[in-house]
Amino acid sequence: MSIVTIRNVEFLNNPARFLDPYHFRVTFECIAALKDDLEWRLIYVASPGNAELDQELDDCLVGPVPVGVNAFEFEGSAPSPQSIPPEDVLGVAALILTGSYCDQEFVRVGYYQNTEYDNDEMKLAPPEKIQFEKLVRDISAKPRVTRFQIKWDVSAQSETLTAAGAATSAAVPSANDIEDDDSTMTEDAANGDATG
pLDDT tens per residue across span 16-48: 999 999 999 999 999 999 999 999 999 999 998
69 Cα distance to chain centroid: 13
Q: pLDDT at position 163, please?
A: 44
The kind and range of the H/E element at 156 are helix 156-169
Question: Nearest-CA neighbor of 16 among 25, 24, 8, 27?
Answer: 24
pTM of the model: 0.76
Residue 49 pLDDT: 85
